[in-house]
Amino acid sequence: MVLMQAERKEQAPYSSWKTANDVKKLVVSKEIIGHGGNFGLVRSGRVTFNDGTSSRVAVKGFVDGISEDAVRKYEEAIEKLANAGVKIPKIGFIQYQQKWVQISSLFGRRDRNRKLFHYPPRLENENQFLQDLAEQASIIHKAGFQFVEDSIKWYNTEDGPKPIIVDVDLYARQHALQYPPSVRSSALAVMECVPWELKDKALKAFLDKIGDIAPEAKKKMMQEMNHA
């Protein structure tokens, strides 16, 4: 049952993530910091580990509860995403008040101005932004998932906006249903992440990252989708 990692430039390997067995105590506050749609509310919390360290976390409950089998499917999807190199917070499950809850590391610190955005408020390097978007979307696709535009958020760094995948619910559902990814559908989702004037560039960047599409097939797909 995987939990959190310290904030680093490079994501720690999945095998090094702490587990529920390392947790001494979980405290959940009344502060609501997000909504998980049909999945449940997200509250702030703090987890204390057996080694005495502690960290702020996001704690998501589930409206209709979640079974142990569903938890295992979530964990399998999280492991696949993390091992593929998808930029995600550390996410895992633990029982709190006799119910399964999802715990994830809160990204950044309050004193670092690391607010997450649906779209970067300032875009100074258009090409880097498109490459970062295409990179994460293509890694997700190659890992066996269909990219979902609502799963990605952006945060500001000294090197410009960077992506992070903060919502794995839909990927966990895809994994549980063995939902096969579609290049076209993933590409459409990438195009939905950018303004109209960048859609053709975003599409090309994504298809270039996929890499195993024949040139003529890629050209035809770009023509069809750019005029859709």
What CATH number is associated with residue 122? 1.10.510
Residues 43 and 84 in one domain: yes
- DSSP code of 25? E
Range of the domain at 83: 14-105
Q: Tell me whether residue 8 is in a domain.
A: no
pLDDT tens string, the chain, 228 residues long: the values are 444 433 334 566 777 788 888 899 999 998 888 776 556 788 999 999 999 999 889 999 888 888 999 899 889 999 999 999 998 888 889 999 989 999 988 765 444 445 678 887 677 889 999 999 999 999 999 999 999 998 898 888 777 888 888 888 889 888 878 878 899 999 999 999 999 999 999 999 999 999 877 788 788 888 888 755
Domain count, the chain: 2
Residues 138 and 185 in one domain: yes
Q: Tell me whether residue 2 is in a domain.
A: no
Residues 58 and 117 in one domain: no
Q: Tell me whether residue 9 is in a domain.
A: no
| DSSP per-residue string spanning 36-77 | -TTS-EEEEEEEEETTS-EEEEEEE--TT---HHHHHHHHHH
| Beta carbons of 49 and 31 less than 8 angstroms apart | no
Last residue within a domain, chosen from 78, 105, 132: 105
* Spatial separation of the C-alpha atoms in residues 137 and 149, rounded to whole Å: 9
Residues 101 and 117 in one domain: no
Last residue within a domain, chosen from 46, 75, 105: 105
Q: Tell me whether residue 75 is in a domain.
A: yes
Q: Tell me whether residue 1 is in a domain.
A: no
What CATH number is associated with residue 74? 3.30.200.20
End-to-end alpha carbon distance in the chain: 43
